[in-house]
Chain A
């Protein structure tokens, strides 16, 4: 089966600034993919291209379509939440539901109503009267009621407090995700999403630094806490990053046989956030 999103040499320039530099990535159906990078890394540019909001150079297909040329048709099968603050302030909750129900062939009103019924939000309220957390819930209700194949979330929890963030992701995983759906999330807060992702894509300075599934992370990457006397021997195996913690040096290895590393010290699989720091700082060094 062809990948849901296929990008080859995807490039986006704003004048002299190169926001995406020949990025190549694939997203398979049924996955929850985190597109992770520091601010200004090109995450948003990549998403804008995938959603058909901007023109680009290179090859890109999403659900078999060219997004920029075919945005209208693409949006039948794809929805996105680009930051929760984008619901227009004058819109009433019931108007929002009526409108989306009117224009979207895959919207199921009963599902949106059921989701909203669990909240305290009345249909007559305008968006400007709602807190940011409530707006998120309205936007989620609208989005989750659409039978879409691909859901794209761009920094969805920016500016939300911890309770709202938790309930956002809980709703996403429990009420929305199933094997027919695919989610692409960008964030610079890695800790928040690492437990729900199946795949990670690291992006830095417009380039894809890493594109892998989390199962592969466990077999491919190792972090070893090395004592000072074995440091030189361990460094000979070419770690891509090292870091000092509590008097020990932790070395990060990519695709080095675990049997070789075991003698150097205590070994574990790095967390996504550790790997992120290691990959991005290591790449610079």
Chain B
């Protein structure tokens, strides 16, 4: 194994929450499926079943995605700060490992490996709880939740979400790492305060909203850039359909050509790379809080 592999193992040793939080969250959902009240509508048509399976999988996945976002944010803020705070950075820096490798290994964990762990946990939870629900309900819901076609689509959706999230939120991740490598204390405050102050100052002095707008687009804009959502409508009984009323699949929903050709995607990525370079520079200079 090479140095990078060891650095990644190190992250999993230190942050056992990477797999413990999704495991516990999944276990809670499964407990809910086991003991919760099951009252689901009667599904008759294949469209309804398809729709129920898709909705069910998307809801489970979305819950994991939200928890993952919160955890990844916390992880990025802490990852270059924790070892400065307890001075263990002096141990890590006594080893022949470059600061660039250290920083990039942490970025990789936050943006790719943590999402993959949550992806696996969401899949396992959805499958196990669907199995439990189908036994408990004994109704049409049982077969409704077992749609291999839907399951494959969810896999595509997850992978697509991981890739687009990593790219779209790279500037946010870079900013969090920069703060983590720089702040002497109160990393959370330092992450939030400067953009907030810049927003308020801009509004007070120039009366404009460029910073606020840019941040809002960055935080909330991913669905608009990465998905075709606007062209489709939700209809009772048929699920998500296109203009002709035909039910759509994940292939209609995702918009990779739009996402990967959007200027905003690449401007954001460039800003993210610049911030990460900054975090590496700070890492070589700052040893203690």
Q: Is the interface of A mostly helix, strand, loop or mixed?
A: mixed
Decide if A86 touches B96 in the complex (CB within 8 Å).
Answer: no
- A80 CA / B284 CA spacing, docked (Å): 17
Q: Is B14 among interface residues, defined by CB-CB distance under 8 A?
A: yes
Interfacial chain A residues near B89, Cβ < 8 Å: 86
Known: A86-B87, A89-B86. A104 touches B95 (CB 8 A): yes
B13 touches A90 (CB 8 A): yes
Contact size range, A:
20 to 34
Q: Is the interface of B mostly helix, strand, loop or mixed?
A: helix
| B contact residues around A131 at 8 Å (CB) | none
Interface bits A57-84 vs B (CB < 8 Å: 1, else 0): 0000000000010011111100111110
**Complex: A102 Cα to B4 Cα, angstroms:** 10
Is there a chain B Cβ closer than 8 Å to A218's Cβ? no
Kindly identify, within residues 139 to 162 of chain A, every residue whose CB is under 8 Å from any CB belonging to chain B: 139
Tell me, yes or no, whether A88 is within 8 Å of chain B by CB.
yes
Closest to B89 in A: A86
For the complex, what is the distance from the CA of A263 to the CA of B88, rounded to whole Å?
Answer: 57
Residues of chain B from 1 to 45 with CB closer than 8 A to chain A in the complex: 1, 3, 5-7, 9-10, 13-14
Whether a CB of chain A sits under 8 angstroms from the CB of B287 is: yes
Residues on the A chain within 8 Å of B5, using CB? 102
B88 adjacent to A86 (CB under 8 Å): yes
A71 touches B91 (CB 8 A): no
Q: Which residues of chain A come closer than 8 Å to B1, judged between CB atoms?
A: 102
Closest to B16 in A: A90
B83 on interface, CB distance cutoff 8 Å: yes
Q: A91-B13, A102-B1 are in contact. Are A53 and B88 (CB under 8 A)?
A: no
Residue of A nearest to B93 (CB): A53
Knowing A54-B285, A55-B285, A99-B6, the reply to whether A75 touches B95 (Cβ < 8 A) is: yes
CA–CA, A103 and B97, complex, Å:
7
**Known contacts A54-B287, A103-B3; is A86 also within 8 Å of B90 by CB?**
yes
B88 touches A82 (CB 8 A): no
Question: In this assembly, does B98 line the interface, its C-beta being within 8 Å of a C-beta of chain A?
Answer: yes
Contacts of B3 in A (CB 8 A): 102-103
Asked if A85 meets B95 with Cβ closer than 8 Å, knowing A95-B13, A103-B3, the reply is no
Using A86-B91, A91-B13 as known contacts, say yes or no to A48 and B96 having CB atoms under 8 A apart: no
Shortest Cβ-Cβ A-B pairs, 5 listed: A88-B88, A75-B96, A102-B6, A82-B90, A72-B98
Q: Point out residues on B near A: beta carbons under 8 Å.
A: 1, 3, 5-7, 9-10, 13-14, 83, 86-91, 93-98, 284-285, 287
10 pairs, A vs B, C-beta closer than 8 Å = A75-B97, A85-B87, A86-B89, A87-B91, A92-B13, A95-B13, A99-B10, A102-B5, A103-B3, A104-B96
